Amino acid sequence: MAKTIVVKQIGSPIRRPAIQRQTLIGLGLNKMHKTRELEDTPAVRGMVNKIPHLVEIIEERG
């Protein structure tokens, strides 16, 4: 079973650079307080680390 993380959007992309908005969309997030369960890969971790002020990791599974 692959390891997964649950990511929640806690910040708004309004008045943020376009690259940060695109990173949110890449994670599958677009509205406040939405959560997604994503595979725990270096690529996903890197995306989360790029926008720590907009998302938080709620839970790590696996």
4-37 confidence digits (pLDDT tens)? 999 999 999 999 999 999 999 999 999 999 999 9
* Coil/strand/helix, residue 22: helix
The dihedral of CA 52, 31, 7, 1: what is its sign?
negative
Residue 11 per-residue DSSP state: S
Mean pLDDT of 51-60: 97
Domains by residue range for the chain, with CATH = 4-61 (3.30.1390.20)
Provide the greatest CA pair distance for the chain.
39
Ordered alpha helix ranges (H), 1-62: 18-26, 42-50
Q: Name the residue with higher pLDDT: 1 or 19.
A: 19
User: Structure pTM?
Assistant: 0.93
